[in-house]
Amino acid sequence: MIRGQVARWLTVGLITNGLLYVAYLALTRHLLAPSAAMTVVYVAGVLLGFVGHRSWSFRHAGRVDSALLRYIAAYAAGYLINLGGLQLGVKVLGWPHQIVQGVMILVVASIMFLMQKYLVFAESHRN
């Protein structure tokens, strides 16, 4: 069962994050600073991801409203981790923002899978 969840979660995540990373690169090239662009694509990713992960990745049949609140809380924590990593990598270490954000996608995604599996869409929240 977990193998199927991971495969479905990866599919949703790869498609969503791939599209959002392209949007991030476009925004930073033409319009916004890296932190602002990351914020815009992060919010879009949270909304898109909730729909795909709830319905397909975890096949959650519980209440939508409470699951959405847990999802938003999890992703708020993920946002802070992402923003902190981006600031550390770019402003403190002087690394290129494109590489730092690419790595942060992987770091935050790993944390988000665990939070979704064991907190947001957990069996105990199917009522």
pLDDT tens by residue, 8-58: 999 998 999 899 999 999 999 989 999 999 899 988 988 899 999 999 999
pLDDT one-digit tens code per residue, 68-89: 999 999 989 998 999 999 999 9
Please list the alpha-helical segments (H only) found in the chain: 2-30, 34-52, 64-87, 97-115
3-state class of 106 per DSSP?
A: helix
Say which DSSP state 123 is in. G
Distance CA 6, CA 2 (A): 6
Predicted confidence at residue 125, as pLDDT, reads: 60
Nearest CA among 112, 118, 102, 47 for reference residue 80: 112
What's the rounded Cα separation, in Å, for the pair 60 and 17? 21
Q: Provide the pLDDT confidence category of residue 93 given band limits of 50, 70 and 90.
A: very high
Size of the chain in residues: 127
pTM value surpassing 0.85: no
